[in-house]
């Protein structure tokens, strides 16, 4: 999320302008609570819509991928 935050800021936007988040987790059953905690740190109020899915990544090192849709003023 820090990298997404930096990318948005470099474009003149911010996490406040995110309208949709899609999270892909390697093990949604065991990692969803941690993801919810991290999500709350970055979106403490007016959180955007979110979907979370369990997926099989092509490598074992990848545990999470996050996709954001945001507008840039």
**44 has pLDDT over 90:** no
C-alpha–C-alpha distance, residues 50 and 4, integer Å: 15
pLDDT at 43: 92
**45 has pLDDT over 90:** no
pLDDT at 19: 96
pTM comes to: 0.87
When pLDDT is averaged across residues 27-39 and rounded to a whole number, the result is 93
C-alpha–C-alpha distance, residues 3 and 70, integer Å: 14
pLDDT at 6: 96
Domain 2-70 has CATH 3.30.1330.40: yes
Domain boundaries, the chain: 2-70
pLDDT at 51: 95
């Amino acid at each position: 999320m820090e990298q997404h935050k930096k990318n948005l800021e470099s474009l003149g936007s911010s996490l406040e302008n995110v309208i949709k988040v899609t999270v892909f987790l390697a093990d949604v059953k065991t990692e969803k609570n941690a993801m919810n905690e991290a999500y709350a740190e970055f979106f403490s109020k007016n959180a955007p819509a979110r979907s979370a899915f369990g997926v099989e990544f092509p490598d074992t090192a990848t545990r999470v991928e996050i996709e954001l849709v945001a507008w840039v003023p």
